């Protein structure tokens, strides 16, 4: 098979899609003559331009794409420029795509779905390969309490939600859960990691007003976005990750926490239920029961669940296993 692979990343922002692509690329280095095209990703080779990728695609190669703009660029290379390109698309969405993305996906040479449910919404599925986490990059802290204190957010332990501040991500559910939980957990500090777009500023302001009314302005904090390079240090310092989205395609944040030895509480969204490993590594809750679930983890046999979280990430959801599954699809082409 060809050993030349182009992985596209056209989004300037570091998103969940970016994180999953970076995890895989780091595992694929050395397996292929691999080029990153577009925007940089942490720990990955310096990217080349789209023009350079086309010039290097005059012999059989694979383009691995993950976004609409990237599918369009790959189709142009294959169908208009007539380059010997085979296109692989990874799909995580667990809902029906709109018309134009459906057409783009129908033109792919192979589709990799991240879950069995996601596979029902796309054609040409060659394999179902769950996203994996880099278990070397995300790893437990030797001393969790010291790691938390070093971050400077106050208190003795941390709880966080990570993602864009907007209704779809359930940031309001997290705030409500923390308003319920924190008065019963002295020393705990909650972090909302992420930013709100201009269109969601009123949503953010409302959350801050609710927190102030509860008298928890010094315990529920909004640090903003955390750079990708700094995220592992944050994760390993936490005691709990809480993700309560209304919709999630897959959801990497619980896995990043789990690899860091941090259990999670999540709604039944994305692939969260599978991550829990039958409740040993995390708990599924509704927004109304999230505070109780968090209290159960933090006041129960925490060390046992933290170890189970790490073990589950390493044995069932590693980036290495994802790269191995992707390799089989490449070989089939």
Helix/strand/coil (H/E/C) assignment for every residue in 293-328: HHHHHHHCCHHHHHHHHHHHHHHHCEHHHHHHHHHH
The residue among 96 and 22 whose pLDDT is bigger is 22
Quick: pLDDT tens for 49-69.
Answer: 999 999 999 999 999 999 999
Predicted confidence (pLDDT) at residue 1 exceeds the cutoff of 60: no
pTM of the entire structure? 0.88
Sheet architecture: strand order including 33-38: 33-38, 4-9, 61-65, 85-91, 110-113, 125-128
Q: Cβ–Cβ contacts within 10 Å for residue 48, how many?
A: 15
Band of residue 95 on the pLDDT scale cut at 50, 70, 90? confident
State residue 94's pLDDT score: 82
- Give the chain's mean pLDDT: 95
Q: 251 with 269: CB under 8 angstroms?
A: yes
Q: 221 with 179: CB under 8 angstroms?
A: no
Q: 281 with 263: CB under 8 angstroms?
A: yes
CA distances from 224 to 192, 213, 228 (A): 7, 21, 13
The closest alpha carbon to 323, from 54, 91, 20, belongs to 20
Percent of the chain with pLDDT over 90: 92
State residue 203's pLDDT score: 97
Predicted confidence (pLDDT) at residue 93 exceeds the cutoff of 90: no
Q: 275 with 305: CB under 8 angstroms?
A: no
Furthest-apart CA pair in the chain: how many Å? 64
Quick: pLDDT tens for 254-275.
Answer: 999 999 999 999 999 999 999 9
Predicted confidence (pLDDT) at residue 235 exceeds the cutoff of 70: yes
The residue among 175 and 229 whose pLDDT is bigger is 175
CA 211 from centre of chain: 27
Q: How far apart are CA 22 and CA 247, in angstroms?
A: 23
Quick: pLDDT tens for 108-158.
Answer: 999 999 999 999 999 989 999 999 999 999 999 999 999 999 999 999 999
State residue 2's pLDDT score: 58
State residue 194's pLDDT score: 95
Q: How far apart are CA 318 and CA 43, in angstroms?
A: 17
Average pLDDT value for residue range 25-53: 96
Average pLDDT value for residue range 234-256: 96
- Phi then psi dihedrals of residue 249, to 5 deg: -70, -45
Strand bridging mode 220-224 / 240-243 = unpaired
Q: Cβ–Cβ contacts within 10 Å for residue 327, how many?
A: 17
Quick: pLDDT tens for 155-176.
Answer: 999 999 999 999 999 999 999 9
């Amino acid at each position: 098979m060809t050993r030349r692979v182009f992985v596209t990343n056209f989004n300037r922002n570091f998103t969940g899609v970016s994180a999953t692509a970076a995890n895989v690329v780091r595992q694929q280095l050395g397996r292929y003559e691999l080029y990153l095209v577009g925007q940089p990703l942490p720990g990955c080779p310096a990217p080349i331009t789209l023009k350079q990728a086309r010039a290097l695609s005059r012999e059989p190669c694979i383009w691995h794409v993950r976004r609409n703009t990237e599918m369009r660029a790959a189709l142009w290379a294959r169908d208009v420029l007539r380059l010997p390109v085979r296109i692989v698309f990874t799909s995580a969405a667990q809902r029906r795509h709109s018309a134009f993305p459906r057409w783009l996906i129908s033109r792919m040479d192979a589709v990799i779905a991240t879950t069995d449910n996601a596979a029902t919404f796309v054609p040409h599925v060659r394999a179902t390969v769950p996203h994996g986490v880099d278990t070397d990059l995300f790893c437990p802290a030797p001393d969790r309490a010291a790691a938390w204190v070093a971050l400077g957010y106050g208190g003795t332990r941390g709880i966080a939600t990570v993602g864009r501040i907007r209704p779809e991500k359930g940031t309001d559910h997290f705030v409500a859960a923390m308003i319920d939980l924190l008065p019963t957990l002295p020393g705990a500090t909650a972090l909302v990691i992420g930013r709100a777009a201009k269109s969601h500023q009123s949503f953010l302001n409302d959350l801050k007003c609710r927190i102030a009314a509860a008298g928890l302005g010094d315990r529920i904090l909004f640090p903003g976005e955390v750079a990708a390079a700094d995220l592992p240090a944050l994760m390993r310092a936490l005691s709990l990750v809480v993700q309560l989205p209304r919709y999630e395609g897959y959801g990497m944040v619980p896995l990043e926490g789990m690899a860091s030895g941090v259990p999670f509480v999540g709604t039944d969204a994305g692939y969260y239920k599978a991550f829990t490993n039958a409740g040993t590594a995390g708990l599924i809750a509704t927004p109304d029961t999230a505070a109780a679930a968090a209290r159960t983890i933090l006041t129960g046999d925490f060390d046992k669940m933290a170890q189970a979280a790490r073990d589950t990430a390493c044995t069932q959801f590693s980036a290495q296993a994802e790269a191995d599954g992707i390799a089989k699809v490449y070989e089939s082409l």
